[in-house]
Amino acid sequence: MTTPRRVLVVTHGGRPQAVAALDEAVRVLQESGFQVALHDDALAETFGDHMAAARLRERVAECEIVMVLGGDGTILRAAELTVGTTVPLLGINLGHVGFLAESEREDLSAAVERIVRKDYVVEERFVISVTVTRPGEQEPLTGWALNEATVEKAERQRLIEVGIEVDRRPLSRFGCDGVILATATGSTAHAFSAGGPVMWPDVDGVLVVPLSAHALFARPLVVGPKSAVRVTVLDRSPLSAVLTCDGRRSIELPAGSTVEVRAGEQPLLFARLSTAPFTDRLVSKFSLPVMGWREAADAAAAARARAAALADHPIDDVVDDGDDDATDDTTDDTTGGSTDGATGGPTGGATGGPVAPVHAADAVDDQGGD
């Protein structure tokens, strides 16, 4: 007797669109012989990895794939179930940007069919291991992040004072609102909003982005995958801080606490349906203008020139309207030759040069840019 194929579906239950998508996906999967399990818990909101019991309860390790119906936030929730396993995530975007999602809502049926046929590629994503040491506590606390681990001030009124080290060597100290320690996956999220660079997903490294640092040198840095980055909330800091991983799992950091980030031992897996390069995803998700503003200005000027030419020489005046030849003969007899205008050239108007017909379609195309 063959073991039935199993899929775990994680969804954003508060959205009517998600409920409709869930009904459709479950129906097709069950018709194709899958066992479908549903997960709608809020999942972990405290620092660490508290999902071991949930993984056993949901039998995640027995699943062929975890299908996520929602936006990036829902996908980050589902990642708490699959981290440390060999089960890939497949996201169907029901949110806004959906950088982590592989398909859109309108393509749900096609995505489910691809799951049925196992027609997808598994991609590895770099995750970071996060170790927290707090004063008065003998044992460090450990956690992880797919997008970022962010050290931020606990109160808005004042700055926190932090020290940055790379491989146990001091780099800088300053007052700031916080420090983001991001992966390549997270470089298009909080770190991007804070002015950090976009890193391609296959770059294994840690992106360090200070937040509103009161310092002469506080540029974003990209640290290699073999290095460890440490952020210390200095004893002189007037405020305590808060560490948040992926915008979800948090822990307080009193003065004297340290946060050390390094490469995780095991990557997180994503199922990919498209082989398009990350460049295409970046342009699509951010609606980037691939034409520069100077090129666009030149195209607009050309379109205005063509529109002006069209107004000066209407199509009916330029294109032969099919009148009788008698009119042309009369004109030829009057001028003593062909209709040349003032200079005696062939149908040239006032300049005697040939007038190229201007088509309305050309003007419309030029106004449309690319």
Are 38 and 118 in a shared domain?
yes
- What is the percentage of the chain residues whose pLDDT exceeds 70? 80
Mean pLDDT on 27-55: 76
Q: DSSP 3-state assignment of 190?
A: helix
* CATH number of the domain bearing residue 243: 2.60.200.30
108 assigned to some structural domain: yes
Tokens of 286: 């951010």
Distance CA 66, CA 78 (A): 8
* CATH number of the domain bearing residue 278: 3.40.50.10330
Q: Which of 286, 321, 347 is the last residue of a domain?
A: 286
Distance CA 303, CA 296 (A): 11
Residue 141 reports pLDDT greater than 60: yes
pLDDT of residue 54: 73
Each residue's pLDDT tens digit, 229-257: 999 999 999 999 999 999 999 999 999 99
Are 19 and 40 in a shared domain?
yes
Q: How many domains does the chain have?
A: 3
Are 216 and 195 in a shared domain?
yes
Q: Which residues on neighbouring strands pair with residue 119, listed in sequence order?
A: none
Using alpha carbons only, give the angle 287, 218, 248 rounded to the nearest 5 degrees: 60
Distance CA 43, CA 184 (A): 24
Residue 107 reports pLDDT greater than 70: yes
154 assigned to some structural domain: yes
Distance CA 90, CA 269 (A): 9
- Tell me the pLDDT of the chain averaged across its residues: 84
Each residue's pLDDT tens digit, 195-230: 999 999 999 999 999 999 999 989 999 999 999 999
Nearest CA to 261 among 175, 124, 352, 133?
A: 133
| Residue written as token pair 């459709």 | 24
348 assigned to some structural domain: yes
Q: Are 168 and 126 in contact (CB under 8 A)?
A: no
Range of the domain at 193: 128-266
pLDDT of residue 177: 97
260 assigned to some structural domain: yes
pLDDT of residue 348: 42
317 assigned to some structural domain: yes
pLDDT of residue 58: 78
Are 282 and 306 in a shared domain?
no
Least confident of 135-144, 189-198, 308-317: 308-317
101 assigned to some structural domain: yes
Least confident of 102-111, 139-148, 286-295, 322-331: 322-331
Contacts of 330 (CB under 8 A, 6+ apart): none
- Please indicate whether residue 72 is annotated as part of the active site: yes
Are 44 and 145 in a shared domain?
no
Are 133 and 197 in a shared domain?
yes
Are 142 and 114 in a shared domain?
no
Are 201 and 303 in a shared domain?
no
pLDDT of residue 364: 37
177 assigned to some structural domain: yes
Nearest CA to 231 among 132, 315, 339?
A: 132
Tokens of 367: 């106004």
1 assigned to some structural domain: no
Record the pTM.
Answer: 0.78
Strands lying side by side in the sheet with 141-145 = 141-145, 128-133, 258-263, 229-233, 160-166, 169-176
Are 260 and 276 in a shared domain?
no
pLDDT of residue 317: 53
Q: DSSP 3-state assignment of 301?
A: helix
Are 167 and 99 in a shared domain?
no
Confidence of residue 45 (pLDDT cuts 50, 70, 90): low
Distance CA 339, CA 144 (A): 84
Q: Which residue in the list 23, 40, 72, 235 is annotated as catalytic?
A: 72
Residue 352 reports pLDDT greater than 80: no
Confidence of residue 46 (pLDDT cuts 50, 70, 90): low
pLDDT of residue 12: 77
- Residue 6 φ/ψ, nearest 5 degrees: -130, 135
Q: Which residues on neighbouring strands pair with residue 207, listed in sequence order?
A: 182, 222
| Reduced 3-state DSSP string for 278-326 | HHHHHHHHHCCCCCCHHHHHHHHHHHHHHHHHHHHCCHHHHCCCCCCHH
Least confident of 79-88, 219-228, 339-348: 339-348
Are 255 and 136 in a shared domain?
yes
Are 89 and 105 in a shared domain?
yes
Mean pLDDT on 37-43: 71
